[in-house]
Amino acid sequence: MDWHFGATAFATAFTIIDPIGMMPFVVTTTQRFDPKRRARICNEAVIVAGIVMILMGVVGPTILNYLGITLPAFTIAGGILLFLISIDMLFGRNTGARSTEDEERAALAGENPAVFPLAIPLIAGPGTIATVLLLVSNAHGDPQLELLVALSFAAALGIAWLCMRGAAKFTHRIGSTAIHVVTRVLGIILSALAVQFVVNGLLKTPLFHGG
């Protein structure tokens, strides 16, 4: 078994999911709920995100190929969406990349942010989905390598779950100012990551490498 590939896959999965960086957002999203409800929301968010990743890993490459969508094109689209989300984080406003007004009203009525915005796009966002597709493609159909990809994302999700549950416990200990500062810093990092996604996608297109 290629443990080097496994280590690379885990490092990539952990970085793109960013379990530690998501903690402030989890706190602000779930602070109005009691501890038991927050724990249930975190559990549901991780399960939904895991299902999305599995589905994309299994059927994603086939769907993209059928539609004629290349991985670079998908990466560019994901980077643009990530950039819109980073603007939301930086300026504390909704840009439509995360939700519409109707979706926000529905979320408030249901009072369950597990699926949106925690599972999607916080955990299983465009960057994560693109990473799943990239790693599965790099496995080239090798069952052992595909298993390593699955285990890597499972481990990263497990760490994310621990961080989310821990974040909920510190809801009343983190000041709103500190949360806003962290959110904006993460927005800057996310914007840089988004630009890198677009650049990587452009560099892989025939137009930019002379193909």
What pLDDT does 95 receive?
47
pLDDT band at 44 (very low <50, low <70, confident <90, very high): very high
| Residue 102, helix vs strand vs coil | helix
Asked whether residue 211 is assigned to any structural domain, the reply reads: no
Closest by CA position to 81, among listed 205, 194, 208: 194
Q: Is the distance from CB of 160 to CB of 22 less than 8 angstroms?
A: yes
68-120 tens-digit pLDDT:
887 788 778 777 877 877 787 777 665 444 445 555 555 555 567 898 888 98
Prior bond of 143 cis (ω within 30°)? no
Q: Quick one: average pLDDT of 137-159?
A: 91
Asked whether residue 41 is assigned to any structural domain, the reply reads: yes
> Buried b / exposed e across 95-132, counting CB within 10 Å, b at 16+?
eebbbeeeeeeeeeeeebbbbbbbbbbbbbbbbbbbbb
Asked whether residue 209 is assigned to any structural domain, the reply reads: no
For the cut 90, the answer to whether the pLDDT of residue 157 exceeds it is yes
Asked whether residue 174 is assigned to any structural domain, the reply reads: yes
Domain encompassing residue 8 = 3-13+29-203
What's the structural domain count of the chain? Answer: 1
> What share of the chain in percent tops pLDDT 90?
22
Asked whether residue 20 is assigned to any structural domain, the reply reads: no
What pLDDT does 113 receive?
86
| Assigned token pair, 56 | 């994309």
What pLDDT does 86 receive?
75
**pTM beyond 0.85, yes or no:** no
Asked whether residue 158 is assigned to any structural domain, the reply reads: yes
